[in-house]
Amino acid sequence: MTSKFIDLKWKQFSRAPQFGAKLAVKVLIGFFIIYFSLAAIFFSGIAVFLLEDNFPDQSPLTVLNKYLLYYFIFGFIFRYFFQTLPATEIQQLLITPISKKRIVINTMLKSTFSIYNSSPIFYFLPFAIVFIYSGGPGDEFEFSRRSIFGIFSWWVCLLMITWMLNNLVFLVNKNSRILKIVLLTTILLYGFQKFEYFDFFTFFGSILDNIYKNPIWLFVIILILISTYYQLFNFLVKQCYLDKALSKGKEKIIGQNLFFLNRFGTLGMLIKNDIRLIIRNVRARQVVLMSFLFLFYGIIFFTPDIYKDMSTLLVFASVFITGGFMMTFGQYVPSWDSEYYSLLMVQNLSYRKYLESKLILMIAATIISSILATPYLYYGLKIYSLVIAAAFFNLGLGGYITLISGVLNKSPMKLNVKAKAFENTQAFSLTQFLFVLPKMGLPILIFWLGNFLFNEQIGILLVGLSGLIGLILHSFLIRQIEKVYKSQKYKTLEAYNTNN
């Protein structure tokens, strides 16, 4: 039966529209996965020696165990926003002579062996191997380095916990009651940790230490894993009907007002529709959340001293801080409207108004991001001036580059389906991806020229002025972009109608 499912999956992929493009994307993603997997294996291997150097009086395993709870918490949050059950595939299989239990088992097996659950192999297995065979004063540590069975049990425990998170994420995604329980438990644990009533991170680390010393405790973890599998299996079998959890559900009519936009006529109506789209649809909300996370991108580059003299890299980070919405939501214009694009095209609407509504939305998001980025003043006026200059670039040239790249995007968007990291290729275009380069490279080049010919201050000023020039040339630029969109209008309609 498993071979039949694999065969069906291959036929679905090979017979899909734009098979060649999707295959190219899969290959590209495969190269990225291989690269990051090799990097993870390398850093995991040297982590033993790094921990030995920084914590000479403790076992590297003990130190790692203390911080693994942070890793699993972050992993759960990441999975919650990106990992979903393939509900569409389940719906298609329900009309076949295959039992619901078999369909559910196949779905659970697919999720178990997904890329999300590969971290114990790439992160922790190399660490475990190096930990066993590395030299050093092992007898001085509390643990014996040569306990192969103990370290194997420790690794299996991490694998089991990863699978438990996999099951829990699906339960939380489909059951609001479980989500409330998880949130309440997390708040309580944070409160206990914050006020030092109980240190859960140290407690979690001690559990892993004990599994290394006494592998018999691994059976407790295995029993918990079996319990979560059983709970998820029963839940999915009960919900395996088109009119239950697998259905889209009733849409809540929210975001209905926004009366203040009515004064702007057609432009206001289009902006209002985009705001409603963001409020009501899970994919759009997910993208907006990701754009908010871009605000914290600068912390990675502004905090370490090693980057302080690498001004071009700081410009790169600054563009991301205020351009998160533009790079996440903006890059999928006009795919957001693919489900009703034909309807829009037969209305008495000008393409210019349509494009300007998208541009205004991106400009508004950039202004809000610039205001929220004010705390970067903490790093000094130079850093903050870079952020503001990059914001002006995004307000001007960045928005137009994003719009012109959108004309190459002829893949439809499913609004009520979450994006799947490493799996989702919806609305992806390799040519469109190349337009990211001028969005990132142009401000860096402008800054470099100003810095090379004059000084850093002039470089920062030129980046900001380039954005102002874009705003001044708005009428000319939007008119040229409109011509390009009109020339591709029928190709876009054909692509959306074919793929939908």
The pLDDT value given to residue 142: 43
Q: Residue 176: which pLDDT band, with cuts at 50, 70 and 90?
A: low
Query: Once rounded to an integer, what is the mean pLDDT over residues 95-104?
Result: 77
Average pLDDT over residues 336-352: 81
Whether 492 and 413 have beta carbons less than 8 Å apart is answered as: no
Q: Which residue has the higher pLDDT, 244 or 294?
A: 294
Q: For residue 299, is it within any domain?
A: yes
Evaluate if residue 389 carries a pLDDT over 70: yes
Q: Enter the DSSP assignment of 382.
A: H
Give the integer Cα–Cα distance in Å for 38 and 45: 11
* Residues in the chain, overall count: 500
Helix axes 125-133, 19-54, angle to 10 degrees: 30
One domain, residues 148 and 213: yes
Domain match, 296 and 215 both: no
Q: Which of 204, 239, 274 is the last residue of a domain?
A: 239
Residue 18's pLDDT is: 62
| pLDDT at residue 252 in the model | 47
pLDDT confidence of residue 169: 84
Q: Tokens 């942070």 identify what position?
A: 70
Say if residue 461's pLDDT is above 90.
Answer: yes
Amino acid at 472: I
**Mean of per-residue pLDDT scores for the chain:** 79
Name the band, by pLDDT with cuts 50, 70 and 90, for residue 427: very low
User: What band does 16 get if pLDDT is binned at 50, 70 and 90?
Assistant: low
In a domain, 245, yes or no: no
* Domain shared by 299 and 223, yes or no: no
**3-state helix/strand/coil string of 34-93:** HHHHHHHHHHHHHHHHHHHHHCCCCCHHHHHHHHHHHHHHHHHHHHHHHCCCCHHHHHHH
| Confidence class for position 428, pLDDT limits 50, 70, 90 | very low
Question: What domain count does the chain have?
Answer: 2
Q: 93 and 130: one domain?
A: yes
Task: State the pTM of this model.
Answer: 0.59
Peptide bond between residue 334 and the one before it cis (omega within 30 degrees of 0):
yes
Q: Based on the domain organization, do 126 and 275 belong to the same domain?
A: no
Render pLDDT for 253-295 as a digit per residue (tens, 0 to 9).
444 566 777 777 888 888 888 888 888 777 788 788 888 888 8
Task: Mark whether 343 and 206 lie in a shared domain.
Answer: no
pLDDT band at 388 (very low <50, low <70, confident <90, very high): very high
The domain in which residue 288 lies consists of 261-499
Give the model's pLDDT for residue 366: 92
Q: Which helix (H) or strand (E) holds 305?
A: none
6 and 47 fall within a common domain: yes
- 362 & 456 share domain: yes
Instruction: Compare 175 and 407 and report the one with higher pLDDT.
Output: 407
- Mean pLDDT to the nearest integer, 421-437: 52
Confidence of residue 391 (pLDDT cuts 50, 70, 90): very high
Strands, E assignment, 213-360: none
Assess whether pLDDT exceeds 90 at residue 223. yes
In a domain, residue 247? The reply is no
Domain match, 269 and 168 both = no
Q: Is residue 248, in this structure, part of any structural domain at all?
A: no
Is 246 within the bounds of a domain? no
Share of the chain above pLDDT 90, in %: 13
Percentage of the chain modeled with pLDDT above 70: 81
Q: What is the DSSP letter of 97?
A: S
Residue 38 sits in the same domain as residue 163: yes
Instruction: Check: CB of residue 500 under 8 Å from CB of residue 340.
Output: no
Looking at residue 418, what is its pLDDT? 55
Taking CA atoms, 137 is separated from 52, 132, 396, in Å, by: 10, 12, 60
Residue 252 lies in a domain: no
Do 337 and 214 lie in one domain? The reply is: no
Judged by phi (left if over 0) then psi (alpha if -120 to 50, else beta), residue 254 lies in beta
Is 244 contained in some domain? Answer: no
Decide if pLDDT at 421 tops 60. Answer: no
Domain presence at residue 281: yes
CB 439 within 8 A of CB 319: yes
Asked whether residue 209 falls in the same domain as residue 297, the answer is no
